[in-house]
């Protein structure tokens, strides 16, 4: 295990008195590639936003100096991104360098070349001048990823990065993330439990409370504290899907829970 880079102690977070997270004690490490899973409304985005300091919380979140200095790359869940903002794809990706530049810093020629290279890598170079409001879901997802990685952060946090993207890009995305994980820690929220087990190193289940599993292997037993029906893809000789049964206090809002 690498150096501890994020340490969360006794964290709780509420919105208008409604508890979203409580009793959270968890650490993340320099070589982590963690998948965060859990039902809708379980608190995954809130956990991420607490690490980023974007929501109020009780308790402590300590982030190592190294990560603070190198910055944190963040790809928000798409429904949290304001598409109306009048910005081109190129400007959106460049804005990932803003923290380093300060408010009035100028972008250099090499910054712009780096944007070009990233847009090419993500196959959206033809959309550089297009306004973000005109992009398809998958195109916007790629541009948001470009913004998150352009500063080469020490910690990359992705909230459902595979939403809206096609299968081909999803595979490219995971290959890219595996490559990036050689030089940065990655925390990724995903609903795709089957993929999570093949891509990430560890899984964290979030459903009002948080559990870190020591492996990416997910069995129905391990998911018992997931508190929601979930499809588990077993990677045996005959792949099959198991529907874990549900019990009390589910927050996912499904009728069958
Ligand atoms: N800005 C907000 N104002 C009020 N309540 C909120 C806000 N953001 C989240 N919540 C509530 O907090 C709880 C946790 O939400 P959160 O977005 O963290 O869940 P999630 O696990 O990311 O869900 P999803 O899978 O749907 O993205 C939910 O009950 C949600 O309704
Ligand atoms: Mg969310």
φ, ψ (nearest 5 deg) of residue 183? -130, 0
The pLDDT tens digits of the residues spanning 11-59 come to 999 999 999 999 999 999 999 999 998 888 999 999 999 999 999 999 9
Distance 105 CA to ligand 2 centre (A): 32
The pLDDT tens digits of the residues spanning 57-68 come to 999 999 999 999
Ligand 1 within 6 A of CB of 15: yes
Distance 136 CA to ligand 1 centre (A): 24
Atom number of ligand 1 nearest to Cα 16: 4
CB-CB contact of 121 with 180 (8 Å): no
DSSP, collapsed to helix, strand or coil, labels residue 185 as strand
The pLDDT tens digits of the residues spanning 117-174 come to 999 988 899 999 999 999 988 899 899 999 999 999 999 999 999 888 888 888 888 9
CATH of domain 4-227: 3.40.50.300
Q: Distance between CA atoms of 43 and 45, rounded to whole angstroms?
A: 6
Distance 80 CA to ligand 1 centre (A): 11
Ligand 1 within 6 A of CB of 79: no
User: pTM for this structure?
Assistant: 0.84
- Domain ranges, ordered by start, for the chain: 4-227
């Amino acid at each position: 295990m690498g150096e501890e880079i994020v340490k969360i102690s006794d964290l709780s977070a509420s919105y208008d008195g409604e508890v979203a997270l409580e009793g959270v004690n968890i650490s993340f490490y320099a070589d982590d590639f963690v998948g965060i899973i859990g039902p809708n409304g379980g608190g995954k985005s809130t956990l991420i936003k607490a690490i980023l300091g974007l929501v109020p919380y009780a308790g402590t979140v300590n982030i190592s100096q190294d990560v603070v200095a190198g910055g944190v790359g963040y790809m928000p869940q798409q429904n949290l991104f304001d598409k109306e903002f009048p910005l081109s794809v190129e400007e959106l990706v460049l804005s990932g360098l803003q923290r380093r530049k300060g408010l009035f810093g100028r972008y250099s020629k090499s910054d712009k070349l780096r944007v070009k290279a990233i847009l090419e890598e993500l196959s959206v170079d033809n959309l550089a001048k297009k306004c973000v409001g005109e992009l398809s879901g998958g195109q916007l997802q790629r541009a948001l990823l470009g913004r998150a990685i352009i500063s080469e952060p020490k910690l990359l946090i992705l909230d459902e990065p595979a939403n809206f993207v096609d299968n081909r890009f999803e595979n490219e995305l995971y290959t890219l993330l595996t490559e990036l994980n050689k030089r940065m820690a990655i925390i990724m929220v995903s609903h795709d439990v089957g993929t999570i087990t093949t891509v990430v190193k560890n899984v964290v289940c979030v459903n009002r409370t948080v559990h870190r599993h020591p492996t990416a292997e997910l069995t129905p037993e391990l998911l018992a504290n997931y508190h929601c029906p979930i499809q588990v893809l077993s990677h045996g000789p005959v792949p099959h899907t198991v529907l874990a049964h549900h019990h009390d206090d589910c927050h996912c809002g499904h009728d069958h829970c």
